[in-house]
Amino acid sequence: MEIQKIGIIGAGQMGNGIAHVMALADYDVVMTDVSQQALDAALVAIQKNMDRQASRGKISDADVKAAMGRISTTLNLPDVGATDLVIEAATERETVKQAIFEDLLPHLQPHTILTSNTSSISITRLASRTDRPERFMGFHFMNPVPVMQLVELIRGIATDEPTFNACKTVVDRLGKTAASAEDFPAFIVNRILMPMINEAVYTLYEGVGNVRSIDESMKLGANHPMGPLELADFIGLDTCLAIMNVLHDGLADTKYRPCPLLTKYVEAGWLGRKTKRGFYDYRGETPVPTR
């Protein structure tokens, strides 16, 4: 099946990044959110990020204009039903995702493929709550979407081969690389990455090192581009905690127990860059460690 029109649910950092790359790859994009403010902010962010790419010579001004013209926004979720492929990029909470799919199902075309950008939740379980488990799969982009080259494609137990191939074709057209992952908690990237971040938080919690020494050690000692606590702030501490809980609940292994300090930061509302405070305080000119 040829995919021409793509619906994106959620206009946050991931949703607007997905809209950005899809529009540049000549797909027509319909983006929806519950907030008009979020949709407006998404269009501003996409324009800014495309302009930055154009200033570096990666795309032309004509490419930017054409791509922005392919993106439409709506507050009406059923409008997304008239697309060939839907990518849900809402909050990383299973109840939220299930409610979205339930509301959308009556408005879908028979051939529409449903996907979720979830970073950890069971694709099989999400698919089972829809009318098309064979045309449902995980479509997990990395953040920031325009920069990161990997997309995890996750089959649920019922996902059929034409659905996988259609999504793989989209990834190829984006110029990105697809990694096929099995449907187990957190898939590949987060199954490895989140326990590392959680262990860094334990290292801080136990006083082995402070925020700066932990991040500098991993950047200079392991050649990581960002330290694990800096990366956690970038991802969002609430997202990190949600993924650790999925790993802990899904695999029933104590090695995935979320660090109590991570829980405390989330309870305080210190979620990282998006709230201006996490393991670093971002309210000044330069980030300052909070521990």
Indicate which residues carry an active-site annotation. Answer: 119, 140, 152, 190
Alpha carbon dihedral 234, 235, 239, 245, in 10-degree steps, equals -110
- Adjacent-strand bridge partners of 88: 9, 116
Phi, psi of 139 (to 5 degrees): -130, 80
The one-character DSSP state at 277 is B
Starting at the earlier edge strand, list the strands of the sheet with 136-141: 71-74, 28-32, 5-9, 85-88, 113-116, 136-141, 150-155, 177-181
Give whole-number Cα distances, 53 to 11, 21, 56, 69, 149, in Å: 20, 12, 5, 17, 15
- Adjacent-strand bridge partners of 177: 150
For the chain, report the end-to-end CA distance as a whole number of angstroms: 53
